Chain A
Amino acid sequence: MAGSNPNAKPMDLTLKVWRQKDRNSAGSMVTYPVVGISPDMSFLEMLDVLNEDLLRKGEEPIAFDHDCREGICGMCSLFINGRAHGPESGTTTCQLHMRHFKHGDTITIEPWRAAAFPVHKDLVVDRSAFDRIQQAGGYISVNTGGVPDANAIPIAKSIADKAFDAATCIGCGACVAACKNASAMLFVSAKVSQLAMLPQGKTERKTRVENMVAQMDIEGFGACTNIGSCAAECPVGISLENIAILRREYISATATSENLV
């Protein structure tokens, strides 16, 4: 079977891939040639081909995170040629296709690099810090049942749409990987601004932002210095404006803090 473009020629490439046995071992770049890569393949399918070759030779395949391969689960996380999720903007690694590379290219593949994202193995990193930040306040405190009718509180379409834009963050960590300070501000701000905009989220808006920012600091993410690489590399286009909202929320919350601790 041929792909959508039967004239597209297969490519030979050189991959330089970060290999690391486990969290406590030192890692290094290892070079692998790959041949006959179809331009219609996704980047991860190209790695599948390499892994099948390695397996047949009795070598350990390269571990990388991936799941939905539709750009929505946020699990894939490769730093390709120095860019989070590779050269195409607005694209996760799983949606990056090989037609964006040329025959003979050398491609460097690294894991996300951040103190708060330790490497588990090869290209797989530990992003549980993100979960802990969400646990610190990324929710509205309602139990199941006993809530008002969904149409009881009208929400202006413009606000609902804006909250939605912030809520589309897939939690992949590209913002942290792209930031020279490994800051998680864009990730944290997406949830803070989504919930601060909605009437349902206003009750807890002060404690939420204080607790989430505190947890972000505990996890060892760097400070934000307004470079904007995070938003530039975000595969789903989370806007830098959210960081401005977070700062406003944070200053106003700390000035009138309701946190009793």
Chain B
Amino acid sequence: MILDSKIPEGPLADKWEKHKFSVKLVNPANKRKYDIIVVGTGLAGASAAATFGELGYNVKAFCFQDSPRRAHSIAAQGGINAAKNYQNDGDSIFRLFYDTVKGGDYRAREANVYRLAQVSVNIIDQCVAQGVPFAREYGGLLANRSFGGAQVSRTFYARGQTGQQLLLGAYSALNRQIAYGKVKMYPRTEMLDLVMVDGKARGIVVRNLITGKIESHSAHAVVLATGGYGNVFFLSTNAMGSNATAAWRAYKKGALFANPCYTQIHPTCIPVSGEYQSKLTLMSESLRNDGRVWVPKTVEIAQRLRKGEITVNDIKEEDRDYYLERKYPAFGNLVPRDVASRNAKLVCDEGRGVGASGLAVYLDFADAIKRDGQPAIAAKYGNLFEMYAKITDENPYERPMRIYPAVHYTMGGLWVDYNLMTNIPGLYATGECNFSDHGANRLGASALMQGLADGYFVIPYTIGDYLANTPYDRVSTDHPAFKEAEAAVVEKNNRLLSINGTRTVDDFHKALGLLMWDYCGMARNAEGLQFAKQEIRKLRDEFWRDVKVTGVNEELNITLEKANRVADFLELGELMVDDALHRNESCGGHFREEYQTPENEALRDDENFAYVAAWEFTGVGNEPVLHKEELKFENVKLTQRSYK
């Protein structure tokens, strides 16, 4: 198989304009002859579904939540980047492009990232026109703030709820098309298989989560906007329902899965407090502007602290190690996410972690409060301090916050070309579901940008190019391909329901999560990864022998829903390990302990690994086949990232 990224020829800045002119168009009267399925209604899905509807296509949109407004894009806090240069501080499309490629540790596709930076400016215009209440200055113009990995202020925000406001904007556009009858919405409906006819994506099989009914839907093209797979780790900042099932089942039908080992571990999350923990909560990156990260200087002090013999305020200034400021004097507490996370792990591994579990570091605001006064700090971060107090029952104004890294975002995903089409004709992937724009590490405030760029401004053009060459004929859901896929879904559900073993789905999920966290998390090595691969296989076998799924298919069955998702995570986990094992270098969120500089920084191997690793399914338990897409860097120079 040859991976054709279909990157247009010509200078970087002209590629998208040229491409938009060269793609075929579907005449307005003919658009109504085409049906498009969109799975997922977060930023990438809702924006695409609404825009397709506006253009005149017939759209069916699906989400597993009770309303499209609940998709997990809603939880994004900090903001959305755009190269508007409203602040006149030197920003430009090229600078946003450059920062994103560098932030991704040179493992993203230049042409895609440049297009992302280009359309970023349109996104802000669109959202304002929809009534999104972005933060504004007293003069009435839009406000900006700065974010990690950038030296300009290009982040637009709506307090700490930017994702919510952007998603409600896209949801309102979607609602308008639902009211017009151009989009038919299927909430509480989960995609369980992709249907292909003559080698092309022509529909999906879904389960109605209320009645359990298995149904097929046919279309001329299928768009997956189903988010990331961070919940492989069980504990993450993802929503409880976030899952990889749609993408994974597409992979099993032949779609390639790219860079699965690139996982973003966010440095500032509230630490795990007990075995019962169901999810982790992010504390915005912005806190590192004023908070100082530290742990006790010695293991001995840390031990006394953990035993409760002393309290944090007993530790003298000279016994505190502000390790980020010490190691990275230039960037201090504001180093990128991957660097901050890895260093927190290092000090905890040394035995200097704090909190009862020893798996936490302090984020201390005492100096900022002394300098600026409590009211100033409260005005900046009040809602975050409140959230922290609510969860931990501790007052962060009086004692430092305890934080620890947590799984937050997955840069890997379905392989797509420049048109966002997977290697399966007619199957597209947008937003976090694809792999294309963030390389090995995503910068803050770029996920919202990518989701909306893909949905509002990229796929509405590129899908027309495909449909223009597609006959109008509809495929009936009575077609044998649909019937076969339905039968397979029914068979799988029945199998899950009939095992009647002794261990719960969550039990397996937690065991998988621990394996992934210990061996394929913030730091990986070959030995650990090989061990994890064997353990995951054992766990998967045991799952299919001993899982307990109660109830029947023909009802709202939360256990069956989870079992289907965890069955897929148990396969995806192994692919992540395979990918991490094969990539003999460190880059961004992928840190292989064998490949580091003397200062413990990620050591890339551009000669051998400057490529996208796209994996092809060959059967569960079989080794997947690796396909490489070489990454060519014509506009940025590859350098070792340094934050010293």
Contacts and interface: CB of A to CB of B under 8 A. Distances in A.
Interface of A: 1-6, 21-22, 38-42, 44-45, 48-49, 52, 55-56, 58-61, 63, 65-75, 91, 95, 97, 99, 120-121, 124, 126-128, 130-131, 134-136, 138-145, 147-151, 153-157, 160-161, 163-164, 167-168, 170-171, 194-195, 198, 200-201
Contacts of B67: 127-128, 130-131, 171
B555 A22 contact: yes
19 contacts: A1-B272, A40-B392, A42-B278, A49-B276, A58-B548, A61-B550, A135-B175, A135-B179, A140-B131, A141-B176, A144-B457, A144-B460, A145-B126, A150-B125, A154-B140, A156-B140, A160-B135, A160-B140, A171-B69
Contacts of B277: 45
Interface string B118-145: 0000101111111101111111111000
B556 interface: yes
Contacts of A148: 125, 129
A38 B356 CA distance: 15
Interface of B: 47, 50-51, 54, 65-70, 72, 74-75, 84, 86, 122, 124-131, 133-142, 158-159, 161, 164-165, 168, 171-173, 175-176, 178-179, 185, 187, 210, 239-241, 272-279, 281-282, 308, 355-357, 387, 390-394, 402, 456-457, 460, 502, 504, 506-507, 548, 550-551, 555-556, 558-559
Contacts of B172: 134, 138-140
B129 A38 contact: no
A66 B158 contact: no
Contacts of B276: 38, 41, 45, 48-49
Given A139-B173, A147-B125, A194 B131 contact: yes
Contacts of B507: 52
B356 A75 contact: no
A114 B59 CA distance: 32
Contacts, number: 235
Contact of A134 (B133, B171, B239): B171
Given A160-B136, A194-B133, A4 B555 contact: no
Q: Which of A59, A61, A134, A140 has the most CB of B within 10 A?
A: A134
Contacts of B133: 160-161, 163-164, 167, 194, 198
A135 B239 contact: no
B556 A73 contact: no
A128 B126 contact: no
A142 B139 CA distance: 25
Nearest to B402: A4
B258 to A, nearest CB: 27
B556 A150 contact: no
B555 to A, nearest CB: 6
A121 B557 CA distance: 10
Contact of B75 (A1, A72, A145): A72
Contacts of B548: 55-56, 58
Contact of B278 (A21, A45, A198): A45
A147 B70 contact: no
Given A68-B75, A148-B125, 13 more contacts: A3-B274, A6-B356, A40-B273, A42-B391, A52-B507, A67-B70, A72-B75, A75-B66, A95-B390, A126-B66, A131-B69, A140-B130, A156-B136
Q: Which 3 A-B pairs have the closest CB atoms?
A: A154-B140, A139-B172, A147-B129
B158 A164 contact: yes
B550 A164 contact: no
B131 A198 contact: yes
B125 A75 contact: no
Contact of B393 (A2, A97, A195, A200): A97
Contacts of B124: 150
A151 B456 contact: no
Q: Which of B128, B159, B394 has the most CB of A within 10 A?
A: B128
Contacts of A127: 66-67
Contacts of A141: 176
Nearest to A147: B129
A28 B239 CA distance: 30
